[in-house]
C-alpha cells in the first residue's frame, strides 16, 4: 500500500511541475531535428520558453536576406537592454543542401551575430513545413536563387505568432513597438 501511495504522490507532483503542453497553434509542432551553426542538433520545440524573432533566409542571398538580417539586428539594438537576453533571434536556412553548419557559422561571424542568435538548418521537408507555419512562401529559381517572403515574425514563449511584418528597416518598427508594449 505504501508503494502505491508513493507512486501516486510522485505522479501527481510530477504532473504539477511539468511544463504545460504547447498550444495547438504553436509553430513548434512542426518538430523535426535541426542543426545549429555550431553543428549541434536540437528539436525545434527547444526554442520554447522565451519569445523569438524568426525569419527564413539563405546565406547565398544578395537581395532581401541581408536586409532581413539587418532589420532583425535593428530590433535587437532598439529594444531595451534588459530585454536583449530575454528574446531570442532565429534565422532558418531555406537552402539546407548548401547552408551547412560551417557556412551558417561563417555567416553569423560575418554579420556579427551574438549568442542571442541561432542559425538553423533542417531537411527540406521540415523547412517547407516551417515556412508554411510562418505563412511564408518560397520557390527555387534560376542560378540557385530563391524567391521568398521577406517576413520577420515575433513568436511568444510558446511559439505562437504574435506579430509579423516586412523584413525591411522600416517594416520592423511595429515589431519593436510591440516588444516595447508587451514584454
User: What is the pLDDT averaged over residues 113-133?
Assistant: 96
Instruction: Check pLDDT > 90 for residue 170.
Output: no
Instruction: Check pLDDT > 50 for residue 8.
Output: no
What's the pLDDT score for residue 1? Answer: 55
What's the pLDDT score for residue 4? Answer: 52
Residue 37: name the closest of 111, 104, 121 by CA. 104
Domain 21-182 bears CATH identifier 3.30.70.2860: no
Per-range mean pLDDT, top range of 7-21, 112-126, 169-183 = 112-126
Task: Provide the 8-state DSSP code for 14.
Answer: H
Find the DSSP H helices in 18-155.
Answer: 64-78, 101-110, 124-133
Between 175 and 12, the more confident residue is: 175
User: What is the pLDDT averaged over residues 30-50?
Assistant: 96
Q: What percent of the chain has pLDDT over 90?
A: 68
Average pLDDT of the chain?
88
Residue 19: name the closest of 52, 51, 49 by CA. 49
What's the pLDDT score for residue 34? Answer: 98
Is the Cβ–Cβ distance between 31 and 39 less than 8 Å?
no
pLDDT in tens, 56-115: 999 999 889 999 999 999 999 998 888 888 999 999 999 999 999 999 999 999 999 999
All structural domains of the chain with their residue ranges: 21-182
Amino acid at each position: 500500500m505504501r508503494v502505491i501511495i508513493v507512486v501516486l504522490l510522485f505522479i501527481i507532483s510530477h504532473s504539477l511541475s511539468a511544463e504545460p503542453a504547447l498550444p495547438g497553434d504553436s509553430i513548434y509542432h512542426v518538430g523535426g531535428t535541426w542543426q545549429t551553426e555550431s553543428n549541434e542538433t536540437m528539436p525545434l520545440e527547444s526554442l520554447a520558453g522565451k519569445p523569438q524573432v524568426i525569419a527564413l533566409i539563405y546565406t547565398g542571398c544578395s537581395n532581401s536576406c541581408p536586409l532581413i538580417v539587418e532589420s532583425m539586428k535593428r530590433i535587437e539594438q532598439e529594444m531595451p537592454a534588459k530585454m536583449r537576453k530575454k528574446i531570442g533571434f532565429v534565422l532558418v536556412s531555406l537552402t539546407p543542401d548548401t547552408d551547412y553548419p560551417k557556412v551558417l557559422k561563417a555567416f553569423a561571424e560575418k554579420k556579427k551575430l551574438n549568442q542571442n542568435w541561432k542559425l538553423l538548418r533542417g531537411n527540406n521537408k521540415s523547412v517547407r513545413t516551417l515556412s508554411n507555419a510562418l505563412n511564408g512562401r518560397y520557390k527555387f529559381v534560376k542560378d540557385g536563387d530563391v524567391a521568398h517572403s521577406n517576413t520577420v515574425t515575433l513568436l511568444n514563449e510558446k511559439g505562437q505568432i504574435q506579430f509579423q511584418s516586412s523584413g525591411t528597416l522600416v517594416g520592423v518598427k511595429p515589431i519593436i513597438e510591440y516588444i516595447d508594449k508587451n514584454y
